[in-house]
């Protein structure tokens, strides 16, 4: 395959969740190389890591995010696409670390204190990483001190607060307000089943995104 065909096929693997040759999904690609093998081949052919990221991974995850927003696919399909994207990203991480490929920015994310749910957070993390951002995932049950310490280390980072339980919305409010008090220029995004645009305004956050694709769109608008 030439470089264009290789990148197109890699993007298809990510979009459909074909992680590697052994992966059984999707059935129509059984026995074919997946994102893992194709990324390695692309690098061996001398395709620049930045092209792999922009033309294959980001383009594919954009399509996945759009399908999700349009309810053409659902969380399981999003997760398997993100898994394929991560298989490809493993090959590209050394180039990020060396500085050869530039990240768009840093995104700090965590599920707020009192809440142990992480599926939504993990999904958003993977989609945002696939869109070219460095993601610092603090995990679940994260208190304000941990967020503040991490912001102190990464002054230009954007912060994402996640919650699934209505009972932890108060934690989200307190954390958002503490961040704004100590770091007024830090952009704070919120997401999760119980939160809304009205709640965003109430707590002084900068953005509410009901799905990963809109979170990516907002983040990209900050650096465009």
In terms of domains, do 146 and 165 share one?
Answer: yes
CATH number assigned to the domain comprising residue 92:
1.10.1240.10
Domain extent, residue 59, equals 3-98
In terms of domains, do 50 and 91 share one?
Answer: yes
What pLDDT score does 85 carry? 92
In terms of domains, do 21 and 114 share one?
Answer: no
Q: How far is CA 20 from CA 50, 53, 66, 96, 112, in A?
A: 21, 18, 24, 22, 34
Number of domains composing the chain: 2
C-beta neighbour count of 195 within 10 angstroms: 24
- Residues 107, 136: Cα–Cα separation, whole Å: 6
Measured torsion, CA atoms of residues 88, 93, 96, 101, in degrees rounded to the nearest 10:
-20
What pLDDT score does 66 carry? 86
In terms of domains, do 179 and 139 share one?
Answer: yes
In terms of domains, do 90 and 43 share one?
Answer: yes
In terms of domains, do 118 and 217 share one?
Answer: yes
Per-10-residue mean pLDDT of the chain, 224 residues long, equals: 94 97 94 97 96 93 87 90 92 86 94 94 89 94 98 97 96 98 98 96 96 91 91
| Domain final residue, candidates 46, 68, 98 | 98
In terms of domains, do 49 and 124 share one?
Answer: no
Give me the residues paired with residue 136 across strands: 108
């Amino acid at each position: 395959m030439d470089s264009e065909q290789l990148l197109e096929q890699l993007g298809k693997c990510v979009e459909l969740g074909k992680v590697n040759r052994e992966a059984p999904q999707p059935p129509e690609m059984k026995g074919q190389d997946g994102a893992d093998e194709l990324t390695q081949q692309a690098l061996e052919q001398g395709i620049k890591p930045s092209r792999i990221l922009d033309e294959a991974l980001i383009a594919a995850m954009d399509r996945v995010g759009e399908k999700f927003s349009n309810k053409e696919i659902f969380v399981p399909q999003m997760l398997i696409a993100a898994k394929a994207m991560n298989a490809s990203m493993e090959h590209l991480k050394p180039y990020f670390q060396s500085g050869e490929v530039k990240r768009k920015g840093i995104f700090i994310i965590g599920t707020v204190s009192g809440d142990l749910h992480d599926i939504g957070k993990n999904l958003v993390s993977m989609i945002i990483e696939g869109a070219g951002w460095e993601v610092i995932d603090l995990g679940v049950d994260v208190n304000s001190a941990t967020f503040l310490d991490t912001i102190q280390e990464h002054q230009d980072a954007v912060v994402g607060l996640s919650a699934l339980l209505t009972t932890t919305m108060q934690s989200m409010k307190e954390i958002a307000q503490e961040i704004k008090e100590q770091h007024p220029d830090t952009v704070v995004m919120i997401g999760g089943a119980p939160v809304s645009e009205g709640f965003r305004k109430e707590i002084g956050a900068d953005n509410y995104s009901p799905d990963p694709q809109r979170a990516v769109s907002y983040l990209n608008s900050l650096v465009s």
